[in-house]
Amino acid sequence: MISVERIRATMTRYVECVDAGNIEAIIALFAEDAVLEDPVGQPQVCGRAAIEDFYRRSLGTGKVSATLTGPVRTTLNGYGAMAFRVDMFWQGQASTLPVIDVMEFDEQGRIRSMMAYWSPDDILPYG
C-alpha cells in the first residue's frame, strides 16, 4: 500500500508542476491507464496520452500559477484530497479559481484517478 507521505509528496508535486507549467512532469505523475475528470461532470479523459493532450490544451495556452491553500489530506487506502488556487487570465481578466482535487493512487504511487471540483461560477477576479 502506498504511504500517506508519498501521497502528500505527489499531490504537492502536482501543484508545483502546474505552477511551473511543466506538462511533462505532470504527465509523469499519472499511471498509463489513469482517468481524469476536470471538472467533475465533464467527460472523463482516459489514458496518459489523452491526459497529456488535456494539459497541453489547458495549460499550454497561457501562464497560470498554482498554490496549495491548505494541507493535503490522505486516507490509509491510497486516496488524497487538497485545496489549491489557480491564478490565470480568464476571458481577458486576471482571475483566481479555488479548486479541490481528489486523487486515487496505485501501488507504485502514480495517480490512478483525479477528480477536480470547480465550476466557472467559482472563478473570481484576482485581487
CATH architecture, domain 4-125: Roll (3.10)
User: Which residue numbers are catalytic?
Assistant: 14, 38
The pLDDT assigned to 63 comes to 82
Average pLDDT over residues 99-118: 97
**12-23: b (≥16 Cβ within 10 Å) or e:** bebbebbbebeb
Structure confidence by residue, pLDDT tens digits, 67-102? 999 999 999 999 999 999 999 988 888 999 999 999
- Confidence band (pLDDT; 50, 70, 90) for 59? confident
Domain spans, the chain: 4-125
Q: pTM to 2 decimals?
A: 0.95
